[in-house]
Structure 1
């Protein structure tokens, strides 16, 4: 048995064995494979000197194809041995030739792609020393959307409600904190007191719910006031956080594990505590329980905006159904442009 570099005269042989490989191990059903493109890639590999043919008695019995993926990484893109010649060391010899050539070129690591269902190839590659580094997972989009209960992406918005009648204090806090905390913000809005709360909206807080929480915490810490941050994340998750003197006293998330798995204790902690909410807002405990359900996926709950509206009404918040971008014109509101 002899292993040698492939030449342009071997293209018909390489293409035939490549097709045999694809017939034996088809690509994933979700991939669109263009035969013409694949054959052109084989020709380019041969021209680069990274194609090999294994022969016995003048007949081709296996091929190996490789390429450079960077200065230090190479990839085996194709490896095939005809069935009658398997388990005779042909594949070992082909990979040895690939490794020797890439090592000469300064390559430090070689990778290869193997179908998860190809147990034989996975066993052989493990024997050679290959180990799982990256798993590529695939799912039909429609099935994923159905399981997650979300449709397309994604609007987030929120508002900050401060228990005070002194709008000037909150205005000064916003003017001081927003440039430092939130960075790039198009503008903020501070309302006059409504039902016992001064409300704050901000462009950066709409774009990033984490910024909403950060600004709410800072306002509470610096003023010593009770502050409620409430909003919708990605049109799917309703979140409400109560701050007192900068500390979180209660947090509610309608889908606790929307952003990823959490320890059981943290999941429970994201259920609204009716006793705490009543103490800080005066809302009846039974009403809080009814307005703050939790679920595993968004599709098990009412639409997020509907859920937000009901919860805001129970705790006495006005204007929580929109963010900065959708805030209506209001002569009583102070708009800060940046």
Structure 2
């Protein structure tokens, strides 16, 4: 199996848009639409969000994003690895990039919302030190959502 490269990229590329569309289809098959909290590629391209793409041989196979809510709170968004690529640590590597950037920026706490039918994702988050918590921001409490948080060692952002 060839090397996987993870780097910051624009979500506005055609292959990344296709990956995001695939993610949306997967989520909509598992969760009612009113409890799917998608970000469009255009929303992911906004200044408050940074996107990482995992590629194998140039093909986009996974993604993850860091959405900043304010100077102290950020959120892990749009985590996805194509099914054929799961189980090889790609999700954990994407998550590590997100956590590292949030810590570098001095974010105090990183949170996320995931579905109630995603135990593989739960394992990735729990291995990275995330713990379950209640709803946050504008998410409603729901049996369809599972919330996680990870306090980070706040370091001042570089000047």
| TM-score band, normalised by shorter chain | 0.7 to 0.9
Structure 1 residues 41-60: aligned runs within 5 Å = 41-44=43-46, 47-48=47-48, 50-60=50-60
**Which is helix-richer, 1 or 2?**
1
Q: Deviations over 1:270-318 (max 9, x none)?
A: xxxxxxxxxxxxxxxxxxxxxxxxxxxxxxxxxxxxxxxxxxxxxxxxx
Equivalent pairs counted in the alignment come to 135
Structure 1 residues 16-165: aligned runs within 5 Å = 16-26=18-28, 28-29=31-32, 31=34, 38-44=40-46, 47-48=47-48, 50-134=50-134, 136-137=141-142
Q: Say whether residues 1:5 and 2:8 are aligned partners.
A: yes
Contact 2:49–2:65 under 8 Å retained in 1? no
Based on CA coordinates, which of the two structures has the bigger radius of gyration? 1
Unaligned runs of 5+ in 1: 140-338
Q: CA RMSD in A?
A: 2.6
Partner SS for 1:61: strand
Contact 1:50–1:66 under 8 Å retained in 2? yes
Point out which structure has higher relative CO (alpha carbons under 8 A, 6+ apart): 2
Contact 1:5–1:49 under 8 Å retained in 2? no
Deviation at 1:42, TM superposition (A): 2.0
Take 1:87 and 1:138, find their aligned partners in 2: how far apart are those partners? Answer: 26
Take 1:97 and 1:69, find their aligned partners in 2: how far apart are those partners? Answer: 18
Unaligned runs of 5+ in 2: 136-140, 145-159
Deviation at 1:3, TM superposition (A): 0.8
Structure 1 residues 1-338: aligned runs within 5 Å = 1-7=4-10, 11-26=13-28, 28-29=31-32, 31=34, 38-44=40-46, 47-48=47-48, 50-134=50-134, 136-137=141-142
